[in-house]
Structure 1
Amino acid sequence: MGTSLSPPPAATELGPDPCPELVEELLRSVRAYLPVDQVDLVYQAYRLGALAHDGQYRKSGEAYITHPVSVAMLLTELGMDVETICAAILHDVLEDTPIERERIAAQFGETVAELVDGVTKLDKVRFSSRQEAAAESFRKMLLAMARDLRVILIKLADRLHNMRTIGAMAPDSRRRIARETLDIYAPIAQRLGMNRVKGELQDLGFKGLYPKRHAVITRHVKTLPASRREAMDKIETALAHKLTQDSIPHRLVWRVKSPYSIYRKMKLEQKTLDQVMDVFGFRVIVDETMQCYMALGSVHGLYKPVDARFRDFIAIPKANGYQSLHTLLFSPYGSPIEVQIRTEEMDQVAERGIAAHWLYKSPDSAQNSAQTRAQQWLASLLESQEAAGSSLEFLDNVKVDLFPDEVYLFSPKGDILSLPRNATALDFAYAVHTDVGDHAVAARIDKKLAPLRTRLASGQTVEIITAPSAAPNPSWLEWVVSSRARTAIRHFLKHLQHEDAVELGHRMLDRALESVDSSLDRIPAKVLEQYLTDARLRRLEDLLAEIALGNRIALQVAQSLTRGVDGQTHEPHVLSSEKIKITGAERGVLSFPTCCLPVPGDDIIGFMSTGKGIVVHRADCPNVPELRKSPERWVPIGWSREVSGDFRSAIRVEVENKPGVLAGVAAAIAETEANIDNVEYQERDLRSAVIVFSIDVRDRKHLADVIRRVRRLPVVIGVQRR
């Protein structure tokens, strides 16, 4: 950090102090824990910020500098260091004023400049939509946050102050910002363990989005019957007496659920406002970890616990570092009460999350600290952004990962992994390592064999079975919920798609060049390079992939390349009758639509669809007449002799409506080694039923075997291919 403590250039140009009382409060706060020279640096940051924002005002009419100073105030409450406080005061100068990054770095050090740059939005960059701009801004912030966690602390404080003063915004802007706060910023605060900030962001976001609902719930809590409050007073007295009687030093704190928490409980449990009983709760703060368990025994001795509602987050901390004991007790006054038990340090970490790192730096807590867990999460985000194709995809991945609940699982060696709720064995495989996920074939859950799509529950021990030949396929995306797994699968499929596209595009361009009496070998290197430059493509492989994906028409490319040789347009006159042979392995650039579900052995035609590649239809598909209106997009294709893999098909079975019919037909299909993907009753009455089976078959012959086997069943009235 820079050592200069002199006033910034032109600081004397600043007129009367725009917020003397607020800045004096800020300086009073930092004097409580920072040395004198650092307090002076904070004041210099204020002088530069006030000068830079001179003449700028907020929607409320206040001088703009009141906002960054208020943000800095919020961070002093967390005990943040001088670099964070200075960066908070200056966090908007790069975006909204002529002050340059170099000036900040020269006076306050490179670290402060990095922090300010990390928080700065990308408003000067043009994007196709507000959504894309917000996603790219968010992406930049998270990458800066991965370099220095203090970036997100400043951003969260910035958002918190904006939400506190959101009343001056127009209704549409207020709703948009409130929604973004609930969807992104409150979950990030939760993910980083900053429960106090999370709670206020959620409540302010709820108030901004649904002001009437917020007002009704707030009024309801304030006007709860006196008898209810008297009951809570009696419970508090009883708890305090019991803990004192058992010689457990403690601090007992009342908790009132926030309006947002009550609203979420109403929605999730389909309850009315009056039915939400546990509006109040208690927090027991003790000195040492062992006393947490002693206090738990004490309160359980006073009131009976509700079965299956005890959680030990001390032995197994949450992914964000949160530690506490949670128990729900039957009270003698009709409503259950929640009690949380934790140490003083656990309470600070629970309230402040990663910010508590600057208050507690004991070696004992370093390994399981919220900051260490946050760094691990950010490392996974870096992997995600490297593989993501766009800012919107990255934002989508992160949203998936900002989960409110986790399941805790064990590896065979006893390691604990936390995953999102509804995670599957495949999510677990990718959590272990990307290579394990890519080659996973099955799992052993509590020593029992289970498929990869099996959902997991807390406490299970999971072992992944791998095979070198196994590889991800598109259906895996439907099985996973974690961003790490989703990103890894997408990355693999994109790479596979590119390889398939290059190979298929090469065959398509060769055929098109043959139709104009040329070949790729006869195109001069200069002509090819000029075409690639004009098309803004880096290399030939990219052009071939574009052709296979339907983004460029092979014949038009061929004509452009040959025109570059002699300046003449070559009309196709030798159209090859040879079909492009497909093996079915080109899944990255081939798709098989549900309208006709072609399988090997069917007569097929290909239709180029922009971005999708070749869509393979049966020649007798009812959609083919419509496709013939765009002959330039036809692709003559046929099946190779080396077709491999399974292909989706469907059969329509009419049966007598008797018990056990479905099981009998399914068993007959299984005997032919065809896999059933889905079963759907289409029609059903007292006498008969129509069942559609979606099945995987090798080819047309295999499908015929399935139909013959099903037709032989006595209960089957008729069967046909769909």
Structure 2
Amino acid sequence: MAEAPAVAAEPLIAAHRRHFPKADVDVLRRGFEVAAFAHRDQKRKSGAPYVTHPLAVALLLAELGMDTTTLVAALLHDTVEDTSLGLNQVRDEFGAEVAVLVDGVTKLDGSKWGDRAEAETFRKMILAAADDLRVILIKLADRVHNLRTLHWHPKPEKRERIARQSVQLLVPLAERLGVYVLRREMEDLAFANLRPEAYEEIRASLKETERDRAARLGPLVDQVTHALRSAGLKAQVETRNRHLYSIHRDRRANPILDQTIRVGDATRITILVNGPDADCYLALGAVHAIWHPMPARMKDFIAAPKHNLYQSLHTTVVTADEDVLEVEIRTPRMHRLAEFGIIVHINDAAQTSTRLVRDAARRPDLDWLRNLLAWQAHPDSGQYLDSIRAELRSGSIVVFTETGDVVPLPRNSTPIDFAYAVDPELGAHAIGAMVNDRLAGLHTALDDGQVVRILTSDSTTQGGPSEVWLETAQTGNARVHIQRWLDEQRADRAAVDGRLRLVKVLAENETDLLELEQHGVALAVCRRLGYPDLEALYAAVANETVVTAELAEQLVATPAAAPVYGQE
């Protein structure tokens, strides 16, 4: 039995060494031994030893190219939550970095947090991810393996809840980070649990038409290969099967179409160009020279990358045999990013330093994560989670400043969202916008690729956020700043109103509030009542939290403090 942990960890070590030949694998062995011991009395729903789960999660991350620290944290990710092993013990044994990652993915105790546990756990994970994105990647790998083994769970309602939560929260997170390899698998596994009949129908149809599709696809690959070679391009032509949920989504969007699965429904052609980015456009020309491009179906994500690092040229063509095909054109580097997204940058950084790995969370193309952080101020757990779901599923667009800076935003965003994404002060002073050099209202929905300029006013009486802005804004960042501004304005108005009430009551006693303020009497009473400043006290008067007459009595009865404002 003493040799079992070492043997079980070998596939993990082998996978890790393919990406990091010089890695310290002893710490992986130690991590597995600690996990195996901590989970020694626990079983999965399948009856397998529980440690097979963290080992599978770590192996998945190793195959994706994640660093040693992440793999150790993956091995230990359930120990603090499910065993007697404490976070301090993890920190003492494996260091602060591993402990932070483990803590980031540790669920909050449901017995203490009740119905708020899910939302507060997600809030905690997002906060941790803002400092280190590897927290989210461990969570995504954890969910992939849980979905792979979800059929072992005896309760259908639990299977459905886990699958639905995956679609609503974790699939969009994988998409935002560009980790399409995990997104596709999660979508298919959740699809199999949520719509088993539709899943089986598509799977059976794919199998039934597989031979015919392969026979039609072969000559098409030969045609495009010859066209690229004739254009003097060095390129590799690959075919990629679309995942089942993607096919289902297209069918649902076009229910009146014939539901027979054809070549283009199930397969995309991917061209990997071995050359500079400009050669991708030459390859696009070669494709359009042999097949007819469909109008408005060409997308250039090389000149204007997606918010999640994705770059590629997309075109949809009709072949001579009237097959409709989607063709993707990219370089090998772009292809790696298209599959693994942020993991590529973390992998590259890990070859140099741990600090650079953590810095990956601060990339400018991760503004969407900072938008999620803006929702942390939301006090209501249920509404917080609903807001996060809405922001994640909203899709994305890319707009530009006048100087060409890229500003990624959720779909249906307005110039208000744009202004706050650029600078909160710009948002607070916005009175209008120029979109593609044309005047536009602040509530106009923006489209991909537009150039936006915000018109502002320095006047304190003109413009400014309003309740309507709060209803229009799409991003958490904008909504939180607008709400904060509105709250401050309400507080200012309340303070003025409360002070006026107090002035009137004191005047009846022939007492001047300004004099009490100048001699420190008002501030002394304010502090005694537990208010941070006079504005807060006066706002409490307006809100009737403090009774005006009683406050006036205290002010009159309090002796003056030391002279202020230079008085003698």
Same topology, TM > 0.5? yes
Change (3 A) 1:458 1:32: closer
Amino acid at match of 2:108: L
Of the candidates 254, 265, 273, which is equivalent to residue 286 of structure 1? 273
Query: What corresponds to 1:333 in structure 2?
Result: 321
Query: What corresponds to 1:167 in structure 2?
Result: 151
Q: Is the 8 A contact 1:329 1:337 kept in 2?
A: yes
Of the candidates 358, 378, 389, which is equivalent to residue 369 of structure 2? 378
Query: What corresponds to 1:424 in structure 2?
Result: 414
- Per mean C-alpha deviation after superposition, the further-off stretch among 345-354 and 269-278 is 269-278
Query: What corresponds to 2:565 in structure 1?
Result: none
Superposition deviation, residue 349 in structure 1: 0.9
Q: Does 1:75 align with 2:61?
A: yes
Query: What corresponds to 1:235 in structure 2?
Result: 220
Q: Does 1:477 align with 2:464?
A: no
Structure whose residues are more often helix by fraction: 2
Query: What corresponds to 2:250 in structure 1?
Result: 265
Q: Does 1:461 align with 2:451?
A: yes
Q: Is the 8 A contact 1:193 1:351 kept in 2?
A: yes
Q: CA RMSD in A?
A: 3.7
Amino acid at match of 2:408: S
Distance across 1 between alignment mates of 2:301 and 2:446: 19
Q: Is the 8 A contact 2:412 2:445 kept in 1?
A: yes
Q: Compute the TM-score of the two structures, normalised by the length of structure 2.
A: 0.83
Structure whose residues are more often strand by fraction: 1
Query: What corresponds to 1:579 in structure 2?
Result: none
Query: What corresponds to 2:435 in structure 1?
Result: 445
Q: Does 1:295 align with 2:283?
A: yes
Query: What corresponds to 1:306 in structure 2?
Result: 294
- 1:593-604 correspondence runs (5 A): none
Amino acid at match of 1:122: L
Distance across 1 between alignment mates of 2:499 and 2:378: 27
Query: What corresponds to 2:124 in structure 1?
Result: 140
- 1:569-718 correspondence runs (5 A): none
Distance across 1 between alignment mates of 2:37 and 2:549: 62
> C-alpha deviations, 1:478-522, integer Å up to 9, x for none?
32222322222122223223333445566789999999xxx999x
Q: Is the 8 A contact 1:22 1:66 kept in 2?
A: no
Q: Does 1:156 align with 2:140?
A: yes
Superposition deviation, residue 180 in structure 1: 1.0
Superposition deviation, residue 238 in structure 1: 1.6
Of the candidates 173, 179, 182, which is equivalent to residue 164 of structure 2? 179
Query: What corresponds to 2:564 in structure 1?
Result: none
Amino acid at match of 1:449: L
- 1:25-104 correspondence runs (5 A): 25-34=11-20, 38-104=24-90
Distance across 1 between alignment mates of 2:170 and 2:376: 22
> C-alpha deviations, 1:507-551, integer Å up to 9, x for none?
789999999xxx999x9999988876xxxx8788667767866xx
Change (3 A) 1:413 1:374: closer
Query: What corresponds to 2:106 in structure 1?
Result: 120
The SS at the match of 2:448 is coil
- Per mean C-alpha deviation after superposition, the further-off stretch among 403-412 and 188-197 is 403-412
Distance across 2 between alignment mates of 1:45 and 1:478: 49
Q: Is the 8 A contact 1:353 1:371 kept in 2?
A: no
Query: What corresponds to 2:176 in structure 1?
Result: 191
Q: Which has the larger radius of gyration?
A: 1
Q: Is the 8 A contact 1:122 1:137 kept in 2?
A: yes
Q: Compute the TM-score of the two structures, normalised by the length of structure 1.
A: 0.67
Q: Is the 8 A contact 1:357 1:371 kept in 2?
A: no
Distance across 2 between alignment mates of 1:546 and 1:531: 11
Q: Does 1:216 align with 2:209?
A: no
- Structure 2 gap ranges (5+): 555-568
Q: Is the 8 A contact 2:502 2:552 kept in 1?
A: no
Distance across 2 between alignment mates of 1:396 and 1:31: 41
Amino acid at match of 2:102: V
Distance across 2 between alignment mates of 1:337 and 1:172: 39
Change (3 A) 1:424 1:385: closer
Of the candidates 460, 472, 486, which is equivalent to residue 479 of structure 2? 486
Distance across 2 between alignment mates of 1:221 and 1:450: 48
Q: Percent of aligned positions with the same letter in both sequences?
A: 37
Superposition deviation, residue 123 in structure 1: 1.5
Amino acid at match of 1:63: P
Superposition deviation, residue 202 in structure 1: 1.3
Distance across 1 between alignment mates of 2:92 and 2:188: 40
Superposition deviation, residue 138 in structure 1: 0.9
Superposition deviation, residue 192 in structure 1: 0.6
Query: What corresponds to 2:403 in structure 1?
Result: 413
Amino acid at match of 1:141: M
Q: Is the 8 A contact 2:209 2:261 kept in 1?
A: no
The SS at the match of 1:490 is helix
Change (3 A) 1:353 1:37: closer
Superposition deviation, residue 284 in structure 1: 0.9
Distance across 2 between alignment mates of 1:186 and 1:202: 7
Of the candidates 488, 493, 497, which is equivalent to residue 495 of structure 1? 488
The SS at the match of 2:126 is helix
> C-alpha deviations, 1:561-584, integer Å up to 9, x for none?
999xxxxxxxxxxxxxxxxxxxxx
